[in-house]
Every structure is written in C-alpha cells, then in structure tokens.
A and B are shown apart, each in its own frame.
Chain A
C-alpha cells in the first residue's frame, strides 16, 4: 500500500515537472538555434557583400560606390540617349530571374510604348529588333517557371550573343537584382552578355567587385549605376519614356 502511494506521489511530481518544463510563458530562453527551417520557404546561404548606406568602400574589394541615398543615379563612360535606342524594342532575359518582370513593370511605369516583352525570346528573333534590353541574372525558380533547364538557358544565351555581336542592334544589359543576382550561375550569364553591351544599367550593390564598371571601361560603353531598382525609372524614362 505504501509502495503504491509512493509511486502515485512520484508520478504526480513527474507530471507536474513535465508540465512546467514545456510551459509557454515562463520557460527559459533558448540559447541555441531553433530547430526547423529558418524561413517559411527555407533559407539560402547569405551573400558576402557589405551593405551600403551612403557611398562607401566595399569590404571585399577596392571598389568605391558612386551612388548614395542623395545621389541615386550616376552615369559614367559617356552618355546614352534616346537617339541610341531605335525601335522596335525587345525586353528579354538571360537567366530567367524575376528581374525581367520588374523591368517589364518599370517599362510600363515610364510609359514605354511599342516594346515587346518576351523573356524567352529565341536568338533568331533578335534580328527583328533595333534595341534589345537583356535582364541578366539567374534564378533556378525562374528557370523552373519558364520550363527551361540551366543548360538550355546557357545555350540560348550563347545563341543570343552570336546573333547580336555582329548586328546593328543596340544591346542594353540591365542587371537589376543587386547582390542577390551575383554568384556563379548568374555570373555565367553576366559574363556572356557584358561584351555585347552597348550600354549597361546596374543596381550598384550588384557591382561591389566592379564587374560591370570594369566591363564598361574595357568595352568603352556608357554605364548607369543606380542606387536601387526604383531608380531605374530615371534612365528608363530618359530612354523610353512617353
């Protein structure tokens, strides 16, 4: 009888301790990383570039940022005007990131008329256009959404390079995704397209190693650096605005 009573007491104590241990409000703080995914859809490896406030020097290179909160659009290596963008105009992508959709929205915002939006335009279509705006940047999700493999997209990009390098068309390389559209896969597309560019437009935090400014210098083409993607409205208005 005593043993049963003692066992009952022990059970009651164990139950009370167990309840206290997983209670909500007064439980001790967790000091280790929480279990489970870090975000709703799972996280990715963080980037490596230093955040930019005002114009500053990147921690990973000698690059000096030209744009800042108070100086949001900077063009170097000459000028690029409406006269340089004959129609018809094509907006396409290499890498199929969502940036091409943002570019499309920005073109609509500035009142650009009579342009064709085709993110997967084939190389043989390039001959139909006087100006080709190429949004560079890879996205595995974008490639999946477009139903294109990485290899096929690289082949398409190379075919576009072959189609435009000796043509009279004006090629604008637009890199609007910033630091998150850099990295091995994106840079494959960036490096393929930059030698073809007649004009480069880049959100500057994607240029923290000078890839785009160096390409502009090497090729002798103008480049517009913008502080954020919203600032693309300024050059796009000048070039394509109503």
Chain B
C-alpha cells in the first residue's frame, strides 16, 4: 500500500517535471539568439551598443552595429530594425542590408535587433508564435525569432510606479509598461532602466559617430490609416523625407509622408530628432499581426500577411483609399521590399540634397524580384 502510494506520487512528479521540461524548452529556445549571416565582405567593422553606453556591457541589449565604410568620406546613415520585435519587416530589411549592401560612398551603419531583449519573449495570452522560418533553395533553413514590442521583464523588472524621464513622456497608470518600450524612451538615460540605457546608447552613438540621418523601421495594423506605408519625419528631415517618398510613389509604391508629432514624446523621430543633429525618420509597413482585428497569430499570418478580417474591412471601405488590402495580403517579402525601397530612397535623396556629403549604396536585391520570388531567394544560406 505504502509502495503503491510512493510510486503514484513519484509518477505525478515525473509527469509534472516532463511538462515543465516541455514548456521550458519553448522558453529556452526563445532565449537563443538568431544566427545572422555576417559573411558580406563589404562589412568593414562591428560596433556594439556598449561602446556607447558601458552600462550595457554583458546585457542582452549589447547589440551589434555593422559598419559599411566605403572609404570615401561622405554622409552617414543609420538603418535599423527590431525596435518592436514583432514588426518583422523592419528587422528583415536590416538583415537584407547586412547580407547584401555595399557602400560606395559615405558610411552606412546597420543594426538588426535594436531591442534584443524583446526577441526573447512573446506577449502572454496573445497566442503568438515565437519564430518564423524560411526554406532556402539549397535545402537549408533560416530562422528568425519573433518577439513582442516590449523588453522582456526577466531583463528589466519591476516596472516603476511612476516615471518621467528626459523623453518628456510621463509614465503612469496603464502606460507604465512603456518603460520597456524602446520607442517611447528616446533619448534615454545613461544609467536608467535597461530600455532607457539602450535608448541612450543609440543617442550617444548618433552623436559620437556624427550620423546624418536615421531610419527606424516599424509595422502597423491596417486600421492605423495615418501610419501604414507612411514615412514619419522630424521637421528637420522634411526635405529628405519628401524627396524619398516622392521617388517611391513615382515608382508606384503607395507611400506617404507625415510629420512627427510635437508630443510624440520618446519616439525616435521626436526624441532623437530633437536631441541630435541627425535627420530622423521612421517607416511603417502594413502587418495585420499588429492590428486589433487579426486572426490566429501563426507563422502564416506573419509571413503571408493574409487576413480575411482586414480584407473584409477594406472591402467595406473602412480604410479609405490610402492603401489596398489585396487578397494576397501583405506578405513579408513585400513589406521588407517596402522598407528596403524607402531606406534606399532616403540614401539617394540625402546624396542628392547634400552633395558635399555623398552616400551611395549598391548590392541590394531588386525589390520587384524580392516580392516576386520571396525572401527565400534573397536570404543567404548559413551553409
């Protein structure tokens, strides 16, 4: 009798342990960093955010910044993704630059995972997948983590009860979690919370390296009609942004320009635009995952961007004529191509508007080919 009870108890413990291992493996896997292709021979250096804020040394957000220095003095561009880690089009644009770009004049800096901590978790109860995969023609697979818009609480906890940092954004009540939002705390605090430290490192990097303009990549839900396919610019960056957007629309990319709000406290175009000499821009592509009316957030929704709900809303005329929600959705290759196109046109526009600071890029995939063939054909194999 006693032995039977012991066996039963041990069995229950083993089952519990098994469930813990299975559940824990998902958490463990989410903690593992993406393997990036860094074999592009045009990469001339790698910086780290801790080079610009030593407080980040040894933390998850001590992120790499890849340098493409042409050797020809000129303008300096900073293109980055991964501020919000479920807005994957921006991250894959940075990956596209990392794997393919060649800087012909000036210098381009590329950061793939701006808030690396955000990749290590998903939002509880949201039922979101944690990674996306691409099957390459050579039979290999590329994997990229998908996270959430906030820093992981295991890296920054607890949230304060009140915070008013140099961004000018007052955090209280329901907004307190935004202390873990990289795009609400610029220009940051050198010795503040991890997210604030990361913002400050970016701010100091821009000032130290003399960055001329930045592109912070994002994605928005289709109901955000003033944001989708929109380049938001600080008032100092209006000529740069309008020229880039104009060239995109002439190339049949339905993009628009919008000004940074004066009270967009802590957002990169406001917080960095006001506090650095860089011309600050932010681009948003359309990702149904980011909206409030999406279906199940599985890998297909992230990659194919096909949402029956959003298609029906568009057909009902709820989004105006600003953009289309086609039957084929907003697939990731199209969103990435849009990010790539606007970032390339920003480089071209800066080169035109500031001839004393030339900056030129080559080597990027053709946007139409990217859309037609998919990222499977532009991503590099890890072998």
Name A residues whose Cβ lies closer than 8 Å to a Cβ of B. Answer: 5, 9, 12-13, 15-17, 19-20, 22-31, 33-36, 38-44, 46-53, 59-60, 98-99, 101-102, 104-106, 108-109, 139-142, 144-145, 177-180, 205, 208, 228-230, 233
Q: A29-B127, A43-B220, A47-B225 in contact; A229/B24 too (CB < 8 A)?
A: no
Instruction: Give 25 CB contacts A-B under 8 Å.
Output: A5-B9, A12-B12, A13-B16, A15-B20, A20-B19, A20-B22, A23-B23, A25-B130, A26-B26, A29-B298, A30-B127, A38-B292, A39-B284, A41-B220, A43-B224, A43-B225, A46-B318, A51-B317, A104-B239, A109-B250, A144-B263, A145-B262, A178-B321, A179-B320, A229-B249
- Residues of B within 8 Å of A230, CB to CB, are 246, 249-250, 252
CA distance A171 to B290 in the complex (A): 43
Q: For residue A15, which residues in chain B have a CB less than 8 angstroms away from its CB?
A: 16, 20
Judge whether A101 and B238 touch: CB under 8 Å.
yes
Q: How near does chain B come to A170, taking the closest CB pair, in angstroms?
A: 24
CA distance A99 to B258 in the complex (A): 8
Interface string of B220-243 (1 = CB under 8 A from A): 110111111000110100110111
Contact A25–B264 (Cβ < 8 Å) = no
Q: Which of A16, A24, A38, A106 contacts B26 (CB 8 A)?
A: A24
Docked CA distance A46–B224 (Å): 7
* Closest A residue to B323 using CB positions: A51
Interface string of B283-326 (1 = CB under 8 A from A): 01000001111111110000000000000011101111110100
In the complex, what residue of chain B is closest to A33 when comparing beta carbons? B292
Contact across chains for A39 and B224 when beta carbons are under 8 A apart: yes
Q: Report whether over half of chain A's contact residues are helix, strand or loop; otherwise say mixed.
A: loop
> Which B residues touch A27, using CB under 8 A?
125-128
Does B320 lie within 8 Å of A49, measured CB to CB? yes
B129 on the A face (CB < 8 A) = yes
Contact of B246 among A43, A44, A105 (CB under 8 A): A105
Contact A19 B23 (CB under 8 A): yes
Is B94 among interface residues, defined by CB-CB distance under 8 A?
no
Residues on the B chain within 8 Å of A53, using CB: 324
User: For residues 67 through 122 of chain B, which have their beta carbon under 8 Å from a beta carbon of chain A?
Assistant: 84, 87, 121-122
Given the interface pairs A205-B321, A230-B250, the reply to whether A44 lies near B226 with Cβ below 8 Å is: yes
Interface contact A52-B262, CB-CB below 8 Å: no
Q: Would you call B87 and A40 a contact (CB within 8 A)?
A: yes
Residues of A within 8 A of B282 (CB): 40-41
Q: Sort chain B's interface into a size bin.
A: 35 or more
Question: By CB atoms of chain A within 10 A, which of B16, B17, B318 has the most?
Answer: B16
How far apart are the CA atoms of A141 and B231 in the complex, in Å? 13
Beta-carbon contact of A48 and B293 below 8 Å: no
Interface residues in chain B, defined as those with a beta carbon under 8 Å from any beta carbon in chain A? 9, 12-13, 16-17, 19-20, 22-24, 26-27, 29-30, 84, 87, 121-131, 149, 183, 218-221, 223-228, 232-233, 235, 238-239, 241-243, 245-246, 249-250, 252, 254, 256-264, 267, 282, 284, 290-298, 313-315, 317-322, 324
The reply to whether B320 and A43 contact each other, CB–CB distance below 8 Å, is no
B246 contacts A102, CB within 8 Å?
yes
The distance in angstroms between the C-alpha atoms of A39 and B227, with both chains bound, is: 7
Query: Which residues on A sit within 8 Å (CB–CB) of B249?
Result: 228-230
Nearest residue in A to B146 (C-beta to C-beta)?
A: A24
Cβ of A183 to closest chain B Cβ, rounded Å: 10
Q: For the complex formed, measure the closest distance between the CB of A29 and the CB atoms of chain B, giving whole angstroms.
A: 3
Instruction: Check if A23 sits within 8 Å of B26, measured CB to CB.
Output: yes
Cα-based distance from A55 to B259 in the complex (angstroms): 31
CA distance A190 to B243 in the complex (A): 25
Output the nearest chain B residue to A42 by Cβ-Cβ distance: B224
Q: A9 vs B5: C-alpha distance in the bound complex, in angstroms? A: 13
Q: Is the pair B221, A16 in contact by a Cβ cutoff of 8 Å?
A: no
Q: Complex Cα distance A141/B264, Å?
A: 9
A-chain residues with CB within 8 Å of residue B23 when the two chains form the complex: 16, 19-20, 23
A residues near B298, Cβ cutoff 8 Å: 29
The CA of A29 and the CA of B309, in the complex, are separated in Å by 15
Contact B290 A38 (CB under 8 A): yes
> In whole angstroms, what is the CA distance A33 to B295 when docked?
9
A145 touches B235 (CB 8 A): yes
Q: Which of B30, B254, B317 has the most CB of A within 10 A?
A: B317
Contacting pair B20 A50 (CB below 8 A): no
Q: Is the CB of B317 within 8 A of A49?
A: yes
Which of B30, B235, B320 interacts with A178 by CB under 8 Å? B320
A17 to B239, CA, bound (A): 55
Name the contact of B239 in the complex, choosing from A40, A44, A49, A101 (C-beta under 8 A). A101
- A39-B221, A101-B257, A230-B250 known; 17 other A-B pairs, CB under 8 Å? A9-B13, A13-B12, A23-B26, A24-B26, A24-B129, A27-B125, A29-B127, A30-B128, A34-B292, A39-B218, A51-B320, A98-B257, A102-B257, A105-B239, A105-B246, A144-B261, A229-B249
